[in-house]
Amino acid sequence: MSRPVRRGVLRTVREDLAAARRGDPAARGDLENAIVYSGLHAIWAYRLTHRLWTASSLPGSRFVARVIGQAARSVTGIEIHPGARIGRRFFIDHGMGVVIGATAVIGDDVVLFHGVTLGGRGGDHGPGARRHPVVGDRVVLGAGSSLIGAITIGQDSVVGANTVVTKDVPAGSVVTGVAGTARPRSGHEGVPTL
Split into its structural domains, the chain has a count of: 1
Four-CA torsion 44, 13, 131, 178, nearest 10 degrees: 90
Going from the C-alpha of 181 to that of each of 37, 89, 164, 166, 177, the distances in angstroms are 38, 36, 12, 12, 12
pLDDT at 27: 81
Q: What CATH number corresponds to the domain at position 32?
A: 2.160.10.10
Residue 184 within any structural domain of the chain: no
Cα separation, 132 vs 117, in Å, equals 10
Residue 76 within any structural domain of the chain: yes
Residue 189 within any structural domain of the chain: no
Averaged pLDDT, groups of 10, the chain, 194 residues long: 62 91 86 90 95 87 94 96 96 94 96 96 78 97 96 96 94 86 61 56
According to DSSP, the β-strands at 105-106 and 85-86 are parallel
pLDDT at 178: 82
Name the residue range of residue 89's domain.
9-175
Residue 20 φ/ψ, nearest 5 degrees: -65, -40
Residue 126 within any structural domain of the chain: yes
* 81 neighbors 98 (Cβ within 8 angstroms): no
pTM of the model: 0.85
Cα separation, 102 vs 157, in Å, equals 22
pLDDT at 194: 55
